[in-house]
Amino acid sequence: MRKILIIAAFAMILAFVACGGSRDDELAPTPPVATPRPLPTPVATPVPTPTLPPSPPYGMAVSALTGNYISLEAAARRPFAVVFNNEQRGMPQGGLVQADIIYEVIAEGSITRIVAIFQDFDAEMIGPIRSTRHYFTYFAMNHDAVMVHHGGSPTGYSSIRNHGITSIDGMVYDGSTIWRDAERRQQRGLEHSSFTSAQNLLGHADSRNFDMAVPENISAFAFFDEPTALDPLNLANTVIVPHHNANIMQFVFDSETNLYYKYIFNSPHMDFLGEQHLSATNVIIQITDISHIQGDEAGRRHVRMIGSGRGYLATHGTFAPITWIRDSADTPTRWYDESGTPLVVNRGRTWISVIQHEPTFE
């Protein structure tokens, strides 16, 4: 493989300690895992082909990642998967507002990190970039994306090698493709200062002769022809996502824009590019098993990405149960609705939160 509605109070955030990535002084005990409901038997296994709208304007194509119009040049280009710092000291980030799909998952302690998939983008400042973990690489492999990271855990590097993932590592290209922002380095620390740009990434891929032809399996979803709500009895004006008992995310639905706006650390989750509040058309909750790696002094985790599990799709103020299946690291995650039919979502950005416990819909 070529190697992808605000509630009254938030939980207080635990103190952070830097250790190759910040973590708690003591790791909170993991609550018991709820007994999963039986999974439906999928009626089809192929990744669905996105439903296409009327013929796009001249020079445009339909994005396989969002279902929206993008340039022909971007549509023919292999995406990038960038690992973002998601600590309070690293905020606001830059460039996330241009991501097509955003994955968020727990890293060390109570913090999460983000892996953002970019295909049609021109951001002049993307980051701050952080190190990868082995399960981050599975998000890149979902879209055969070029992995962009600044360092990695031992298992993260092993996964890149073992699966032949094309990557751009800030440990190698610090000062060229990836640079340090002087102000952030001085005020927030070295680990919160690593940035790149669309121009740098595309130029690097060209200079290194990366194969950037768009992969056949880039898309994980089909798209509704028209904006569509799900079960009207299952309202999701607010989606509360418990990544950790000290780090609860929220997505708040705006009926005027049909977007979910993200909140983190008791504040809007912002992008400094245009000071924009990050949002998504679709919020997917992927529920899986998460555990600490035995003997890992940094408190790193293992997140199960192979096999199957439950989840939810929230879109247009409604939600529905879904399921996910992944046969191997080298095959992408497949998504299905409750009946086992390949998942259809609304056109726009999709935010995928990978957690161990049930979210709350209000």
Is residue 359 classed as helix, strand or coil in its secondary structure? coil
Residues making up the chain, counted from first to last: 362
DSSP-derived letter for residue 84 is E
The dihedrals phi and psi of 25, each to the nearest 5 degrees, come to -60, -40
**pLDDT value at 7 more than 80:** no
How confident is the model over 95-109, as a mean pLDDT? 97
Per-residue DSSP letter, 196: B
Q: What is the pLDDT of residue 174?
A: 96
Which residue shows structure tokens 């299905």?
A: 336
pTM recorded for the entire structure = 0.85
pLDDT for 55: 76
* Distance, CA of 166 to CA of 341 (rounded, Å): 32
Q: Is residue 16 part of a domain?
A: no
In this structure, is residue 18 part of a structural domain? no
Question: pLDDT, tens digit, for every residue of 208-257?
Answer: 999 999 988 788 889 999 999 999 999 999 999 999 998 999 999 999 99
**Comparison of pLDDT for 76 and 216, the residue scoring more:** 76
Nearest CA to 131 out of 22, 36, 55 is that of 22
Q: What is the CATH number for 106? A: 3.50.90.10
Across the chain, what does the average pLDDT equal? 87
Alpha-carbon distance values, 236 to 57, 94, 251, 252, 278 (Å): 34, 28, 9, 8, 18
pLDDT at 197 over 90: yes
For Cα atoms 245, 249, 253, give the angle at the middle one, nearest 5 degrees. 145
Q: What pLDDT is attached to residue 128? A: 98
Over its C-alpha atoms, the chain yields an Rg (Å, rounded) of 19
pLDDT of res. 53: 56
Domain count, the chain: 1
Would you say residue 82 has pLDDT above 90? yes
Q: What is the DSSP string of 206-255?
A: HHTT---BPPTT----EE-SS-----TTSB-SEEEEEEETTEEEEEEEET
As a whole number, mean pLDDT of residues 12-40 equals: 37
Residue 266 lies in a domain: yes
Q: Which residues pair with 268 in a beta bridge?
A: 263
Give CA–CA dist 132/147, Å, rounded. 9
Question: Residue 11 domain-assigned?
Answer: no
At 356, which amino acid appears?
Q
Of the listed ranges 15-19, 210-214, 238-242, 269-273, the least confidently predicted one is 15-19
- The answer to whether residue 147 sits within a structural domain is yes
Span of 48-52, 155-159, 329-333 with lowest mean pLDDT: 48-52
Report the 10 Å Cβ neighbour count for 39: 15
* Structural tokens at position 238: 């607010």
Partners of residue 238 on adjacent β-strands: 252
* 280 bridge partner residues: 260
Least confident of 40-49, 142-151, 234-243, 316-325: 40-49
**Within a domain: 29:** no
Predicted confidence band of residue 52 (pLDDT cuts 50, 70, 90): low
The answer to whether residue 13 sits within a structural domain is: no
- pLDDT at position 45: 40
pLDDT-based confidence at 40, cuts 50/70/90?
very low
In a domain, 9, yes or no: no
The domain of 340 spans: 45-361
